[in-house]
Amino acid sequence: MAATTVIRLMTEALVQARGLTKRFGDFTAVDAIDFDIQKGEAFGFLGPNGAGKTSTMKMITTVSPITEGKLTVFGIDPTLDGRSIRQRLGVVPQEDNLDLELTVAENLYIYGRYHDMKKSEINPRIDELLEFAQLSERRDSEVEPLSGGMKRRLTIARALINNPDLIILDEPTTGLDPQARHLLWDRLYRLKREGATLVITTHYMDEAEQLCDRLVVMDQGKIAAEGSPRQLIQRYAPREVVELRFEEGEKDNAVLKMDGLASRSEVLADRVLLYTDDADATQRGLHERGINPEQVLVRRSTLEDVFLRLTGRGLVD
Amino acid sequence: MSSTTLTRSLRYAESEVIAYRRTWRGTVITSFVNPVFFLAAMGAGLGTIVDDGTGQALSIPFITFVASGLMAANAMQNGAGDGSFPVMAGILWRKNFHGTVTTPLGPADIMLGRLIWGVGRLIFVLIVFAVIAVLFGALEISEALVAIPPAILTGIAFTTAISAWTLTQKDGRSLSTLFRFLIVPLFLFSGTFFPIRNLPDWIEPVAYVTPLFHGVELVRKFALPGIDESTTMPTWIHIVYLLVMAMIGIYFSIRLLDKRIRQ
C-alpha cells in the first residue's frame, strides 16, 4: 500500500490538464488542450497575444473557473478546493499589481500574512527575498518610484514569500528593457537551479529558449506543438535559414524564381526566409538564377522559425 | 482548512491598517478639519442668526441640531468615500484585488476585510467629530457618545452599498458623478441642516425613502430623544432600513467582485 502511494506521488504531474477548455460566451479562448507539468521543470507556454496563455494561467491559479475538461493542480481539483492550491502557489501576474501605498518590505509582509505565516517566519524571509531580488537597499522605500525591472523583481519576490511548490509567471519580462530582462532571467535561472517548478508564458522566443526545459506552442486556443526548444527546432525547422532582403519592388519577381531552392520558404512583409539544410547550396542556387538580393543573412534556425511554420504568421508583439 | 473567513478577513484588514499608517495625514483634513469648519460656520455663525431670529425656529439650539445631523452625514461621506475610490483602485487602477485572489484569500475575505477596517475608521472619525462637537458646546458628552453607534450603522450601510455600486462601473468617471448628484443632495436635503417638515409637502415623501434621512433620524432619536424636530416614525424602521441596505450591499459587493475578477 505504502509503495504504491510513493509511486503515484512520483509519477503524478504537478499540473495535469485533459481537454481543458475555457469559453467566454461564443469565444473559445482555450480549446481542449492536454498537458502535464512535472515537478522541477521549467515549462513554457509560447504563443502570440490572444493564444489563450493567460486564460490557461488563470485556470491553473484557480482565479478563473474551467468551462470543460479536467484540471488538477497538486492533484487537487480547483473547483473543489482552490484555496488549498493557492496556498502552495506563487503567482507573478502579467500586470504589476503591487500595493503602491505600502513600502517594498510591506508588500512582501502582507502577502506573507495572506498566506497565514507568522510574523517571526515572515521577517527573515523578507530579508532573504530582498537580497535575492537585489532590492535590499530599497527595503523601506515606496513602490511607485521603482523602475519597471525593480517592480517586476519585487512582484517575483512577493510570489516567493510562501515558499511555493509551483511558481507561475505570466509574461514576466514583457515591457522591460534588455538589461532588466537579463537580470530577471538570471534570477529565474537561480530559482531553476534550486529546483523550483516554473510555469512561464511568453511571446519572446529567446526567453522560451533560455528558460524552458519543455514548452508548448499555443495558437488560437490550441496546442500546436510540444517538446524541448531543441526538439521543436529539429522537428519543425531545417538547420539553417537564409534571410533575403530586396530593394523596393523586386521581391515579388525574385520569389517567382526561387522554386526548389529551399525545403520551405516564408515570404514576410520585409524579407524572404529560405529554410534549408545547406545554406551554401541555396546561396549558389540564388546566384545561378540571377537573383540578387540587397542583403543576405545566414543564420541557424530558432524557435521563431518553428513558430512561423506552425502558425503561418509572425508573432504579435 | 486551518483558516476561517474571519481570520482571512482580518489579514486583509491588517494590510489596510499598514497602508493607513502611511496615509492617515491626508485623511485628517476630511475627518478633523471639515467638521470644525462646518460646526463653526453652521453652528456658531448661521446658528446665531437662526436662534436669535424669530426665537421659535427650533426647540433646541441650531448648533445642537446640526451637530447631531452631521454625525450621520459625516459617517455617510466617509462610508461613501471608502466604498468608491479605493474599490475602483483595487479592481481597476492598481489591481490589488487581482493579486490578492491568487493567495488563499478570496473575494469575500477582501470585502469583509475592507468592512472591518471601514468600521474601525468610522469609529475613529466619529470619535474625533464627537470630541469637536463637545468642545463647541454643541452636544453633551453623553449625547455625543450615544450618537456614535447609529452613525456607524449609517456609515456601514453606505460603504457596503456604494462598494457594490462601484463594482458595477466600468471606469472611475461615474464616481465623481455619484458624489455630485447623490451624496451632496443627500447631505443637504436629508434633515441634517433643517427638519424635513420644512421641505415642500410633495418632496417630503422623497426624503423619507432616502438612506441618510434614516441615519440622521436614528442618530437624533438616540442622542436627543423626544425633540420636536424628529418624525414620529418608529425607531426600528430606521434600524431595519439601514441594516437591510448594509446586507444587500455586502451580498452584492462580494458577488460582483467575484464576477469581475473571474472574467
Q: CATH number of the domain at A283, please.
A: 3.30.70.980
Does residue A310 form part of some domain?
A: no
Same domain, A143 and A12: yes
Same domain, A21 and A157: yes
Chain B nearest C-alpha distance from A78 (Å):
12
Give which of B1, B20, B23, B102 to mutate to test A binding, by max A Cβ within 10 Å: B102
Give residue B56's pLDDT.
61
pLDDT at A161 over 90: yes
Inter-residue contact A168 to A123 (CB < 8 Å): no
Q: Report CA A259 to chain centroid distance, whole Å.
A: 36
What residue numbers bound the domain in which A131 lies? 2-233
Beta partners for residue A227, in sequence order:
A215
Same domain, A186 and A293: no
- Three-state DSSP class for B263? coil
Does residue A317 form part of some domain?
A: no
Q: How many CB atoms lie within 10 A of CB A135?
A: 20
pLDDT band at A317 (very low <50, low <70, confident <90, very high): very low
Using a CB–CB cut-off of 8 Å, the residues of B that contact A are 1-3, 7-8, 11-12, 14-15, 18-19, 22-23, 94-96, 98-106, 261-263
pLDDT at A300 over 90: no
**Which residue is closest to B101 within chain A, CA to CA?**
A63
For chain A, the 3-state helix, strand and coil shares in percent, each to the nearest 5, are: 40, 25, 35
> What does the angle CA B212 – CA B112 – CA B12 come to, to the nearest 5 degrees?
130
Tell me the one-letter amino acid at A202: T
Q: How many CB atoms lie within 10 A of CB B44?
A: 14
A102 in B contact zone (CB under 8 Å)? yes
Residue pLDDT, tens place only, B187-230: 988 999 888 888 888 888 888 999 999 999 999 999 999 888 88
Same domain, A187 and A248: no
What's the Cα-to-Cα distance from A213 to each of A164, A199, B117, rounded to whole Å?
Answer: 19, 10, 46
Give residue B53's pLDDT.
67
Burial of B122 (0-12, 13-18, 19+ CB in 10 A): buried
Residues B140 and B64: their CA atoms lie apart, in Å, by 9
DSSP string, B184-244: HHHHHHSSSSS-GGGS-GGGHHHHHHSHHHHHHHHHHHHHSTT-TTS-SS-HHHHHHHHHH
The full length of chain A comes to: 317
- Rounded average pLDDT over B117-135: 94
pLDDT band at B154 (very low <50, low <70, confident <90, very high): very high
Q: What percent of chain A is predicted at pLDDT more than 90?
A: 61
pLDDT band at A153 (very low <50, low <70, confident <90, very high): very high
Inter-residue contact A34 to A223 (CB < 8 Å): yes
- Cβ distance of A102 and B22 shorter than 8 Å: yes
Window from A108-117, A153-162, B57-66, B97-106 with minimum mean pLDDT:
B57-66
**Which residue is closest to B18 within chain A, CA to CA?**
A102
- Rounded average pLDDT over A152-171: 95
Torsion of CA B9, B12, B17, B22, to 10 degrees: -170
A&B contacts, CB < 8 Å = 74
Rg (CA), chain A: 23
Window from A91-95, B31-35, B203-207, B239-243 with minimum mean pLDDT:
B31-35
Q: What percent of chain B is predicted at pLDDT more than 90?
A: 67
Same domain, A213 and A268: no
Chain B nearest C-alpha distance from A76 (Å):
14
A108 in B contact zone (CB under 8 Å)? no
Residue pLDDT, tens place only, A194-206: 889 999 998 888 8
Rg (CA), chain B: 19
What is the β-pairing status of strands A272-276 and A240-245?
antiparallel
What's the Cα-to-Cα distance from A176 to each of A48, A152, B77, rounded to whole Å?
Answer: 18, 9, 41
Task: Identify which of A192-206, A224-238, B102-116, B222-236 has the greatest average pLDDT.
Answer: B102-116
Inter-residue contact A254 to A274 (CB < 8 Å): no
Same domain, A163 and A19: yes
Same domain, A147 and A70: yes
- Rounded average pLDDT over B140-157: 97
Window from A143-152, A303-312, B98-107, B131-140 with minimum mean pLDDT:
A303-312
Tell me the one-letter amino acid at A306: V
| Residues 6 or more apart in contact with residue B51 via CB below 8 angstroms | B57, B58, B61, B62
- Cβ distance of A24 and B262 shorter than 8 Å: no
pLDDT band at B85 (very low <50, low <70, confident <90, very high): very high
A106 in B contact zone (CB under 8 Å)? yes
Structural domain ending residue among the three candidates A212, A233, A254: A233
A67 in B contact zone (CB under 8 Å)? no
pLDDT band at A315 (very low <50, low <70, confident <90, very high): very low
Does residue A306 form part of some domain?
A: no
What is the β-pairing status of strands A198-202 and A42-46?
parallel
A114 in B contact zone (CB under 8 Å)? yes
Give residue B229's pLDDT.
87
DSSP state of A117: -
Quote the cell numbers at residue B89.
483602485
pLDDT band at B24 (very low <50, low <70, confident <90, very high): confident
Same domain, A142 and A227: yes
Task: Provide, as residue numbers in chain B, all residues whose Cβ is less than 8 Å from the Cβ of A170.
Answer: none
Q: Estimate the crossing angle of helix B62-88 against helix B211-223, to 10 degrees.
A: 140
Residues B167 and B88: their CA atoms lie apart, in Å, by 7
Residue pLDDT, tens place only, A21-54: 999 999 999 999 999 999 999 999 998 888 899 9
pLDDT at B22 over 60: yes
Give residue B13's pLDDT.
96
CATH classification of the domain holding A47: 3.40.50.300
pLDDT band at B64 (very low <50, low <70, confident <90, very high): very high
Q: What percent of chain A is predicted at pLDDT more than 70?
A: 95
Complex ipTM: 0.89
- Three-state DSSP class for A168? strand
Residue A273 backbone dihedrals phi, psi, to 5 degrees: -110, 130
Same domain, A29 and A170: yes
Give residue A124's pLDDT.
96
Residues B237 and B243: their CA atoms lie apart, in Å, by 10
Residue pLDDT, tens place only, A49-82: 888 999 999 999 999 999 999 999 999 999 999 9
Residues A286 and A246: their CA atoms lie apart, in Å, by 13
Does residue A308 form part of some domain?
A: no
- Rounded average pLDDT over A287-294: 89
Residues A6 and A1: their CA atoms lie apart, in Å, by 9
- Rounded average pLDDT over B247-256: 98
Same domain, A228 and A265: no
| Residues 6 or more apart in contact with residue B35 via CB below 8 angstroms | B70, B74, B128, B129, B132, B133
Does residue A284 form part of some domain?
A: yes
Give residue B54's pLDDT.
61
Chain B nearest C-alpha distance from A46 (Å):
22
**What is the maximum span of chain B, computed from C-alpha positions, in angstroms?**
68
Quote the cell numbers at residue B199.
421641505
- Rounded average pLDDT over B81-101: 94
Same domain, A133 and A281: no
Task: Provide, as residue numbers in chain A, all residues whose Cβ is less than 8 Å from the Cβ of B117.
Answer: none
- Rounded average pLDDT over A245-258: 85
Give residue B122's pLDDT.
94
Q: How many CB atoms lie within 10 A of CB B89?
A: 18
Does residue A316 form part of some domain?
A: no
A64 in B contact zone (CB under 8 Å)? yes
Same domain, A34 and A106: yes
Residue A90 backbone dihedrals phi, psi, to 5 degrees: -125, 125
Per the structure, how many domains does chain A have? 2
Inter-residue contact A309 to A216 (CB < 8 Å): no
Give residue B50's pLDDT.
80
Q: pTM above the 0.90 mark?
A: no
Give residue A50's pLDDT.
84
Structural domain ending residue among the three candidates A184, A201, A233: A233
Say which of B18, B95, B261 has its CB closest to residue A102. Answer: B18
Does residue A314 form part of some domain?
A: no
Residues A162 and A145: their CA atoms lie apart, in Å, by 26
Chain A nearest C-alpha distance from B51 (Å):
46
Give which of B103, B109, B257, B263 to mutate to test A binding, by max A Cβ within 10 Å: B103
**Which residue is closest to B86 within chain A, CA to CA?**
A101
Q: Average pLDDT over chain B, rounded to whole? A: 91
